[in-house]
Amino acid sequence: MAFTLRSASLEPILLWTEGAPSSLGDKDVDKPTLTAFLPSPEKATGAAIVICPGGGYGILAGHEGAGYAQWLAENGIAGIVLKYRLGSNGYRHPAMLNDAARAVRLTRSKANEWKIDPQRVGIMGSSAGGHLASTLLTHFDRGNPNASDLIERFSSRPDIGILCYAVISMGANTHSGTKKNLLGMFPSSELVELLSNEKQVTKDTPPCFIWHTGEDTTVKVENSMDFALALRNANIPFDLHIYQKGKHGIGLGVNKQNGEYHPWTVDCLFWLKGQGFLK
Mean confidence (pLDDT) of the chain: 96
Domain boundaries, the chain: 20-274
pLDDT score, position 186: 96
pLDDT digits (tens, 9 = 90+) for 127-165: 999 999 999 999 999 999 999 999 999 999 999 999 999
Q: What percent of the chain has pLDDT over 70?
A: 97
Prediction pTM value: 0.96
Distances in Å between the Cα of 142 and the Cα atoms of 120, 154, 156 are 15, 7, 6
SS3 state at 108:
helix
Order of strands, sheet of 13-14, starting from the edge strand that comes earlier in the sequence: 13-14, 33-37, 78-83, 48-52, 121-126, 161-164, 208-213, 238-243
Instruction: Say yes or no: domain 20-274 is CATH 3.40.50.1000.
Output: no
Residue 226 — very low, low, confident or very high, per pLDDT cuts 50/70/90?
very high
| Residues sharing a CB contact under 8 Å with residue 163, sequence separation 6 or more, in sequence order | 124, 125, 130, 133, 134, 208, 209, 210, 211, 224, 227
**Residue 254: what pLDDT?**
78
Tens digit of each residue's pLDDT (9 = 90 or more) over 5-63: 556 789 999 999 999 999 999 999 999 999 999 999 999 999 999 999 999 999 999 99
Pairing mode of beta strands 208-213, 238-243: parallel
C-alpha to C-alpha distance for 178 and 97, rounded to whole angstroms = 14
Q: Residue range 209-215: average pLDDT?
A: 97
Write out pLDDT tens, residues 71-95: 999 999 999 999 999 999 999 999 9
Given the DSSP bridges, would you call strands 48-52 and 13-14 parallel, antiparallel or unpaired? unpaired
- How high is the pLDDT of residue 5? 52
Alpha-carbon gap, residue 20 to 84, rounded angstroms: 11
Q: How confident is the model at residue 1 (pLDDT cuts 50, 70, 90)?
A: very low
What does the pLDDT average to over 244-268? 89
User: At 272, is the secondary structure helix, strand, or coil?
Assistant: helix
Specify the DSSP element, H or E, that contains 270: helix 263-274
pLDDT at residue 2, rounded to an integer: 44
- Beta strand 238-243 with 48-52 is unpaired
Asked if 241 contacts 182 with a C-beta cutoff of 8 angstroms, the reply is no
Dump the DSSP string for 153-203: GS----S-EEEES----SSTTS-HHHHHHHH-SS--HHHHHHT-GGGS--T
- Omega before 41 cis (within 30°)? no
